[in-house]
Structures are given as C-alpha cells and as structure tokens.
Amino acid sequence: MSAYIELLLKKIGMNPLWDYLGYDENGDLWINDICVHELVKKYGSPLEISDLTILKKRGLSWMALTQEVAKEIGFTGGFNYFYASKANMSLPYTLAAYRAGWHIETSSVQDLENLLILYEKGQIDLNKEIICNGYKISGDSLHLTDKYAQRIVEFHNKGFNITPILDSGEVDYFTNLNLKRSMSVGLRMKFGKVENDLELENLVSRHGMGWGEVLESAEKINNSKMLCLSTFHCMVAAAETIEIEQFVNSLLFGARKYFTLKQKYSSLKYFDIGGGIPPMISQYNYRQFLDYFLSGLTDLSLEFGLEAPTVIFELGSFLTEESGFLVHTILQKKLTGASDKNKAEVWALLDGGLMSELPDMFIQNKSFSVFAGSSANCEVERVIFGDLTCDTDGRYPRKNTREEFVLLPSTEGKQIVVFAGTGSYQKMLGGFGGAHHCGILESAKVIVEDFSGETKVHFVEAQNNKTVSDLLGYSSDLLNDLSLDKTDQDMVYRQGESSVI
C-alpha cells in the first residue's frame, strides 16, 4: 500500500464513501464504474460529476432502514418520503429523487414552475405528492411570494395531491379560497431544540407559529368547508448538531402536540419532522435515532389511545450530498519555503474558483473529503490548494480551521484531485450557471444515471466566456442602451434638464 493511501485510510477510516470510491492498481480513483482520470481525459477539467446512482441507493436505503426499525420495535404508524429540492434543484437531481420513489417538497414558486415542466413532459404524474414549505403570502398582491400561493391552488385544481404547510399569516388566505374540492393543509409550529412549553414559548424563530396560534388556526381550518388539516410540521434543526437523545426528546415534545391536536381533529395523519438528517458519510447513528424516536412515538400513541402517525421526512442533503464530486487538475505546485515540518510547504494551484464552487466552506465552515484522482501510488505530501481567483480566501483548507493542509501524492506528473460530497446546497448557494468571482468559468458536468440497472453517462458542456458575457449584459440590449453615443446624448439631455431646474 502506498504511503498516500495508507495515510488516507487512516484519516478517513471505515466510511460509507468506500461503497462507491476505490483505487485501482495504477493509483486512479474510481467512482462506482467510472474512472475519474478517464473522464478528465475525455471531457477535460475542471469537471463536476453527479453520480445519481448514489442518490438512488441512499434514497432506497433510508426507506429500507426506517421500515426495518419500525418492524423491529413494532411501530404501527407509517412513513412518507419527500425530497427537499432546496438541497439541489437541478433537473438531474430532482428527477433522480422522484424516480427513486420520493415525493416532492417545495420551498418556493420556482419549484412549482419546474414541476409544471416535468408534468407537461410526462416525467411526474398526479400520484406524486407535493408538500409546500416556504413563504406563500406577502399580504401585498404585488409581491412575488403571492404567486406561490396562487400556483399551489392551480396545482390543486389540476388534481395534484398538494399540501401547503401554513405558517403565520397564511391561514386566512387559504380558508377564504373558493375551492371546488377539499384541499389538504398542514400547520407549521415554531420549533427547535425545545422540550417543554416554556422553552417553546421563549423560542424565537423565523419559521412557524406559536402553540396558541396553532390552536386558533386548527380551529379556523376545521370551520372552513374545503380545508382538511392533515399535517403537523415541526423541524428541530440539523440532527448532527445535537445529541441524539436531545434531538429525539424535542421531536417527542412536538409529537405530544401532534397527539393533543389529533384528539380534537381526527383528520390529522402526518407528523412532519422536516429535514436535517445528515448524509451517510457523516456516520450518524441513524438506527439509534430511529429506535428512540419510533419507540417514543409508539409510547405516546398508547398514552393518548390514538393511532400512531405517518411520519414525513423531507430530506435533502441525505439524498444529494454524496452524489456530487468536483474534479480539478493541479496546474502548478509552488514551494512556500515553510521551515516548520508540520506545516504544508506546497501551494497546489487548481484550475477553478473554490469560493463559488464550495460556498459552504464559508457559510458553515464545512470541510470536504479530498482525494487524489490519480497517482495515488506515490509518496505523500502536505499541500494547500489555491484557486484561480485573486482572493486570499480562494484556498482550501480555509485559514484558521482545524485542518491546516490536504494530503496529496507527491509527484511531479500531472495530477487531478477530487472533492467529494459536494452534491447538496453548493450549487444552489454558489448560483447555478451564473457569472462567478473573477470571471472564472463554471465546470463542465458529467451526470451518471442508472436506467433499469444500466449506467448512462451524460455530458454537459462547460460554461464559456460568451455565455458569461451575455449573463453580465455585454451582448444584450443593455449594451445598445448604454453605448457611448447614447450615453453622451443622455448625459447632455440630463445636464440640460438639470440646468432648467
């Protein structure tokens, strides 16, 4: 085993990412059946790889695990699985999640616009259930968010099974609608790391309503002819940031509220815990979480003498994070001359812009697993990655973080590197297909999908300079409007005007 691989294994240890990553005898990295080195030879670098067979496997394994634990502990409720597209709204990801049997969670009107296209192209049908979170009403009819509420109603009228989860200020809009058939709705309670009424009352949250408002709203919904209260939504936070026991205690406090409501409103069926379940590479103890949670729900259902709910999961990053990889070539290695043996001595310059590619590095101080894409048979060295931008933050690892360097094979030859776990949020935060820092182009993309067991690879061209010029307004009407002649005339006109004033 090479020094590089030995250290890499020591650092990463046993991890589910070895389900799909591996090295061959040449030291080339493979993602499932795809050799990254070969892909770069064919399509160039930088390259974004989306292996959606991983998404599919994760989606199916979450379904299997929840059902297995439910069976083990005798949980008699059910499960319903929704893909939270906010994690990655791009077509290959949403389609892969829906094809893997997941339903649809939306966060804005954009989702519904996308879904309409999928529906019209026959890619989803009316059997897909839709849950709508996010702001739906602005109280001001000129505002865009109102379109979200209107679109929800249009989807309902088309025959979709669509459930808006209502927040403060949204109930009256929906209770006043003139609907032709009953519409399922949910209520979102403000929630977080809370375990009793006092903590809930004192919680400051942007999302959801207080318990008093939940009760009032449930009554309004009950009195309205066409709304049916089906869902109670309370999401704690990212599970990874909280001890499992505390996370479950909070959820069960929320579940107690669910049962309290259900005593009065028997139409209630779904207990929606939102997202926040971390991807498998984080090695979270899912089994323990599900064991505590489903046992607690079972106890509550016995205590209240009511049937156990159908639990709704709205998972985003659990499905998508592991499917995304970012591939770069090292353009140059620069010696820094550090004399401290524990410090990295080499800057490895990458052919891209890390700040827009990996924004969670800044937003969440997140670190990514980095792999040599080639030459893994070599000795090892410590490097810091620098990108093509002029920015001091265009580097990896970030300054002043726990990780000070990246391990790489020490070789003079051409080298490619792979950032793993980039499939959730990065693209949505960095801006899909936009113009980026220092004008660095967005990479080409390779999408790997599996159709009935057969792996298919699609290639999407990299952004080019012309596209970016267009995005920046260089080739559009704006250029005409701002052309020098016009601007001069405009200025003369304005000067003349102001002199009159």
Ligand X SMILES: Cc1ncc(COP(=O)(O)O)c(C=O)c1O
State the residue for tokens 């929800």: 152
Nearer CB in complex with ligand X: 40/277: 277
171: nearest Cα among 208, 131, 129? 208
Taking residues 118 to 147 in sequence order and writing x for each that binds ligand X by CB under 6 A, - otherwise, the string is ---------------x--------------
> Between residues 97 and 346, which has the closer beta carbon with respect to ligand X?
97
The answer to whether residue 276 forms part of the interface with ligand X (CB under 6 A) is yes
Name the minimum Å distance from CB 9 to ligand X: 28
Site track 210-239 with ligand X (rule: CB under 6 A), x = hit: -------------------------x--x-
d(CA 284, CA 277): 9
DSSP state of 403: -
Q: Which is nearer to ligand X, 315 or 435 (CB)?
A: 315
Tell me whether residue 205 or residue 469 sits nearer to ligand X (CB atom).
205
> Which residue in 34, 87, 308, 420 binds ligand X (CB under 6 A)?
87
Nearer to ligand X by Cβ, of 273 and 435: the residue is: 273
DSSP code, position 314: E
Measured CA to CA in angstroms, residue 78 lies from 202, 228, 267, 271, 295 at distances of 32, 19, 15, 10, 13
Task: Kindly state the tokens that stand for 453.
Answer: 């067991």
Report if residue 163 touches ligand X, rule: CB under 6 A: no
Minimum Å gap between C-beta 152 and ligand X is 16
Is residue 314 a contact residue for ligand X (CB under 6 A)?
A: yes
If one asks whether residue 274 binds ligand X (CB under 6 A), the answer comes out as: yes
Total residues at interface with ligand X (CB under 6 A):
16
Query: Looking at residue 42, what DSSP letter applies?
Result: H
Q: Which among 119-127, 175-183, 274-282, 474-482 is the span making contact with ligand X, rule CB under 6 A?
A: 274-282
The distance of closest approach from Cβ of residue 81 to ligand X in the complex, given in angstroms and rounded to an integer, is 11
Shorter beta-carbon distance to ligand X: residue 137 or 277: 277
Give the tokens for residue 131.
Answer: 């849950």
Q: How far is the CB of 355 from ligand X (least distance, A)?
A: 22
Cα–Cα distance, 348 to 330 (Å, whole number): 6
CA atoms of 224 and 487, how far apart (whole Å): 58
Buried b (16+ CB within 10 A) or exposed e, 351-371: bbbbbbbbbbbeeeeebbbbb
| For ligand X, the closer CB: 185 or 315 | 315
Q: How far apart are CA 481 and CA 7, in angstroms?
A: 59
Stretch in the footprint of ligand X (CB under 6 A) among 64-72, 270-278, 363-371, 464-472: 270-278
Q: Quick one: 314 or 450, whose CB is closer to ligand X? A: 314
**Residues 234-263 contacting ligand X, CB under 6 A:** 235, 238
Q: Which is nearer to ligand X, 22 or 101 (CB)?
A: 101
Under the binding rule (CB under 6 A), the answer on residue 318 touching ligand X is: yes
User: How far is residue 67 CA from its own chain's centroid?
Assistant: 24
Environment class of 488 (CB within 10 Å of its CB; exposed 0-12, middle 13-18, buried 19+): exposed
The residue (of 37 and 128) whose beta carbon lies closer to ligand X is 128
Whether the bond into 397 is cis, omega within 30 of 0:
yes
Nearest approach, Cβ of 485 to ligand X (angstroms)?
50
Collect all residues with Cβ–Cβ distance below 8 Å to 335 and sequence separation of at least 6: 345, 346
Kindly list the distances between the CA atom of residue 299 and the CA atoms of 254, 294, 308, in Å, as whole numbers in the listed order: 14, 9, 9
Q: In the set 84, 327, 361, 406, which binds ligand X (CB under 6 A)? A: 84
Q: Identify residues 389-428 at the interface with ligand X (CB under 6 A).
A: 424
Span interacting with ligand X, options 271-279, 347-355, 386-394, 442-450, rule CB under 6 A: 271-279
Beta carbon of residue 111, minimum distance to ligand X (angstroms, whole number): 12
The smaller minimum CB distance to ligand X, of residues 2 and 168, is found at 168
Assess 275 for contact with ligand X (CB under 6 A).
yes
The region of 297-305, 315-323, 348-356, 365-373 touching ligand X under the rule CB under 6 A is: 315-323
Please provide residue 25's backbone torsions phi and psi, each rounded to the nearest 5 degrees: -70, -15
Answer whether 54's CB lies under 8 Å from 320's CB.
Answer: no
Per CB under 6 A, the list member of 66, 217, 317, 323 interacting with ligand X is 317
Is 99 strand, coil or helix?
helix
Classify residue 73 by burial, with Cβ atoms within 10 Å: 0-12, 13-18, 19+: middle
Residue number of the CB atom closest to ligand X? 275
Q: 319, 316, 326, 282: which is closest to 430 by C-alpha?
A: 326
Give the residue ranges of DSSP H helices in 265-399: 286-304, 317-320, 354-357, 360-363
DSSP state of 189: B
Tell which positions 49-68 bind ligand X, by CB under 6 A. Answer: none
In angstroms, the CA 169 to CA 176 distance is 13
Question: Is the Cβ of residue 208 or residue 386 nearer to ligand X in the bound state?
Answer: 208
Distance CA 343, CA 392 (A): 18
The contact set with ligand X (CB under 6 A) reads 84, 86-87, 133, 235, 238, 274-277, 314-318, 424
